[in-house]
Amino acid sequence: MSTVRLTMAQGLVRYLCNQFTTVDGKEVPLFPGVFAIFGHGNVTCLSEALEAAKDILPTWRGQNEQSMALAAIGFAKAKRRRQIMVASSSIGPGALNMVTAAGVAHANRLPILILSGDTFVNRRPDPVMQQVEHYGDPTINVNDAFKAVTRYWDRIVHPEQIISSLPQAVAAMLDSADCGPAFIALPQDIQEVACDYPQAFFTKTVHEIPRPRADRNSLAKAVALLKSAKRPLIISGGGTRYSGAEEAVARFALDCGIPITETIAGKGAVVHTHPAYAGPVGIVGSTSANALAAEADVILAIGTRLMDFTTGSWTCFKHDAKFISVNAARWDATKHRALAVVGDARETVEELATAMKGWKADVGWTAKFKDLFADWNKALDGYQKPTNAPVPTYAQVVGVVNAKAGERDYVITAAGGLPGELMKNWRVKSTNSFDVEFGFSCMGYEIAGGWGAAMADPTRQTIVMVGDGTYMMMNSDIYSTVLTGHKMIVVVCDNGGYAVINRLQNFKGGASFNNLIKDCKVKEAFGVDFAKHAESMGALARKVESLAELEQALDWAKTTDRTTVITIVSDAFAWTPGDALWDVGVPTISQRESVREAAKYQADVRSKQRVGV
Q: Are 337 and 331 in contact (CB under 8 A)?
A: no
Query: Which residues 6+ apart lie within 8 Å of 531 measured at CB?
Result: 541, 542, 543, 565, 567
Measure the CA–CA gap between 533 and 539, rounded to whole angstroms. 9
Measure the CA–CA gap between 44 and 376, rounded to whole angstroms. 58
Reduce the DSSP state of residue 406 to 3 states and report it: coil
pLDDT of residue 103: 98
> What single-letter amino acid sits at 235?
I
Rounded (10°) CA dihedral 150, 152, 158, 164? -160
**Helix/strand/coil percent split, the chain, to 5:** 40, 20, 40
Does residue 613 surpass a pLDDT of 70?
Answer: no
Does residue 539 surpass a pLDDT of 90?
Answer: yes
pLDDT of residue 291: 97
> What single-letter amino acid sits at 87?
A
Measure the CA–CA gap between 529 and 514, rounded to whole angstroms. 21
Q: Are 142 and 132 in contact (CB under 8 A)?
A: yes
Measure the CA–CA gap between 314 and 2, rounded to whole angstroms. 59
pLDDT, tens only, 41-100: 999 999 999 999 999 999 999 999 999 999 999 999 999 999 999 999 999 999 999 999
Where helices occur in 457-562 by DSSP H, the ranges are 468-473, 477-484, 499-507, 530-536, 547-557
CA distances, 228 to each of 256, 335, 360, 361 (Å) = 13, 22, 11, 10
Does residue 612 surpass a pLDDT of 80?
Answer: no
What's the average model confidence in pLDDT over 184-198?
Answer: 98
What's the average model confidence in pLDDT over 420-435?
Answer: 98
Any bridge partners for residue 113, and if so which? 86, 182
Q: Are 325 and 341 in contact (CB under 8 A)?
A: yes
Its pTM stands at 0.97
Please name which of 298, 293, 270 lies closest in space to residue 282, comparing C-alpha atoms: 293
> What single-letter amino acid sits at 503?
R
Please name which of 246, 176, 233 lies closest in space to residue 210, comparing C-alpha atoms: 176
Rounded (10°) CA dihedral 259, 265, 267, 269? -80
Angle between helices 445-456 and 477-484 (to 10 degrees): 20
pLDDT of residue 610: 86
Instruction: Name the E strands within 416-561.
Output: 434-437, 462-467, 488-494, 540-544
Q: Are 235 and 241 in contact (CB under 8 A)?
A: no
Query: Which residues 6+ apart lie within 8 Å of 216 measured at CB?
Result: none
Measure CA 205 to chain center.
Answer: 28
pLDDT of residue 1: 84
pLDDT of residue 595: 95
The CA R_g of the chain, rounded to the nearest whole Å, is 25
pLDDT, tens only, 7-51: 999 999 999 999 999 999 999 999 999 999 999 999 999 999 999
Q: Kindly state the helix (H) or strand (E) to which residue 196 belongs, with its residue range.
A: strand 194-198
pLDDT of residue 179: 97
Share of the chain above pLDDT 70, in %: 100
Which domains occur in the chain, in start order? Answer: 3-207 (3.40.50.970), 220-375 (3.40.50.1220), 385-569 (3.40.50.970)
Please name which of 608, 576, 152, 258 lies closest in space to residue 402, comparing C-alpha atoms: 576
Reduce the DSSP state of residue 120 to 3 states and report it: coil
Q: Are 437 and 449 in contact (CB under 8 A)?
A: yes
pLDDT, tens only, 577-609: 987 999 999 999 999 999 999 999 999 999 999
Where helices occur in 268-417 by DSSP H, the ranges are 287-295, 308-311, 330-333, 345-355, 363-384, 394-404
Q: What is the mean pLDDT of the chain?
A: 96
pLDDT, tens only, 287-336: 999 999 999 999 999 999 999 999 999 999 999 999 999 999 999 999 88
